Amino acid sequence: MDKVPQTSDPQPTSTRGAANGASGVASPTGVLRALADETRLRLLALLARAELSVGELARCLAMGQSRVSNHLKVLRELDLIGERRDGSLHYCRLELPAGLVKQLWPALEPTLQGLERGEADRRRLAAVLSDRHDSREFFDRIAGDWDVIGADFSRGTGRLEALGCLVPSDLVVADVGCGTGYLSQALARQVSRVICIDSSTAMLDQARENLLDATAELDFREGRLEALPLADAEVDAACAHMVLHHLADLRAGMLELARVTRPGGDVVCVDLLPHNEVWMRESMADRALGLEPGDVVAAFQAAGLEGVSKRVLGDSYVVEQPNGRNIELPLFLISGRKPA
């Protein structure tokens, strides 16, 4: 609940050089430059109302703590911020030093109440102050804003890790077309054994290096999806991540995935939706420029898999075009189960 989303305001620039002269008194240029930033004005408006910790300020602004700390540093260099510590918490308060800022403040303070984001800041401030007394009341008040304040994470993989704990830990899973081990790294944290399969010896060598610290048992096998080096029903589940668009015969590949999966086991495939990046045929060895999900569903069903489902993912594949520009290509997922 301590994480907060990042906003798009630019990184603050320190005013140390321009703000303070040799005497240590803030120069007019430094003061005006510091006060020209909307985020710093929002901070001053909040601190004019209450003494707040850095974390509380971050919540009021719906902004990351590191960003808030950078802005506070600029205000601190102008001696506009007083500070105190209370245990592990670091509280800030507004202070008006003698000089230009104190002269400007009577005209500036009423203006701060009319800032574009000021109303939302004050609403979140009320919730923060309430939280000091009753966390339950705070969450009741802030529920409508929580997706803005408390739902951003540095990588966004925490919930996947949590869901992964629900996967039976004794599974044997085939990562077909494993490449350098992108999917195997995640699988190895959740299951007992991962069989890494790829047609490229060099890819398998790199996967071995990347998976040196894996806790699961690993088995590396060279082979193509259309003729997998696996016995019938050898694995509990089979995954093919970004592989199907390399196949000459989609249905033959799906028959193999179904063959090697035990009855009751799952088959999961992730691949690219259709796109127009023709250069990828040569540069990325792609046979198909993405796939129609309906065609993959039909191949699943033709292989005898049941309960087939499809969905477009929120994730995307980032690739660099020949002109050096990165683009994002949308992905879809198909899953099915071999009849028990």
The two tokens of residue 90 are 């670091």
Q: What is the pLDDT of residue 14?
A: 45
Contact 255, 247 (CB under 8 A): no
- 94 pLDDT band, cuts 50/70/90, is confident
Q: Is the pLDDT of residue 276 over 70?
A: yes
Closest CA to 268 of 191, 203, 201: 191
CA–CA distance, 1 with 266 (Å, rounded to integer) = 35
Distances in whole angstroms, Cα of residue 78 to Cα of each of 172, 205, 250, 294, 296: 62, 57, 66, 62, 63
Show the 3-state SS of 82-138.
EEEEECCEEEEEECCCCCHHHHHHHHHHHHHCCCCCHHHHHHHHHHHHHHCCCHHHH
Q: How does the average pLDDT of the chain come out, rounded?
A: 86
pLDDT digits (tens, 9 = 90+) for 57-80: 999 999 888 899 999 998 888 888
Rounded Cα distance, 281 and 78, in Å: 58
User: What DSSP string runs through 238-255?
Assistant: EEEES-GGG-S-HHHHHH
Q: Could you tell me the two tokens for 170? A: 């004794």
- Quote the pTM value: 0.59
> Does the structure show a pLDDT above 60 at 19?
no
Give the right CATH number for 158-337 from 3.60.110.10, 1.10.150.120, 3.40.366.30, 3.40.50.150: 3.40.50.150
Cα 87 to the chain's mean position, in Å?
32
- pLDDT at position 22: 39
Q: If DSSP codes are grouped into helix, strand and coil, which group holds residue 17?
A: helix
What secondary structure letter does DSSP report for 20? B
* Kind of pairing between the strands at 326-337 and 306-320: antiparallel
Torsion of CA 144, 150, 155, 157, to 10 degrees: -70
136-153 in b/e form (b: 16+ CB < 10 A) is: eebeebbeeeeeebbeee
Q: Which residue has the tokens 């009751």?
A: 264
pLDDT digits (tens, 9 = 90+) for 242-265: 999 999 999 999 999 999 999 999
Q: Is the model more confident about 147 or about 307?
A: 307
CA separation for the pair 63, 70 (Å, rounded):
12
Residue 87's Cβ-side half-sphere holds a number of Cα atoms within 13 Å equal to 2
Boundaries of every domain in the chain: 16-149, 158-337
**Residue 134 confidence (pLDDT):** 61
Asked if pLDDT for residue 20 goes beyond 60, the answer is no
CATH of 16-149, one of 2.40.110.10, 3.40.47.10, 3.30.56.10, 1.10.10.10: 1.10.10.10
Q: What is the pLDDT of residues 172-205, one digit of tens each?
A: 999 999 999 999 999 999 999 999 999 999 999 9
**In DSSP terms, which residues pair with 268 in a beta bridge?**
239, 335
Among 86, 5, 92, smallest CA distance to 57 is for: 92
Phi, psi (degrees; rounded to nearest 5) at 217: -70, 135
Least confident of 71-75, 109-113, 233-237, 250-254: 109-113
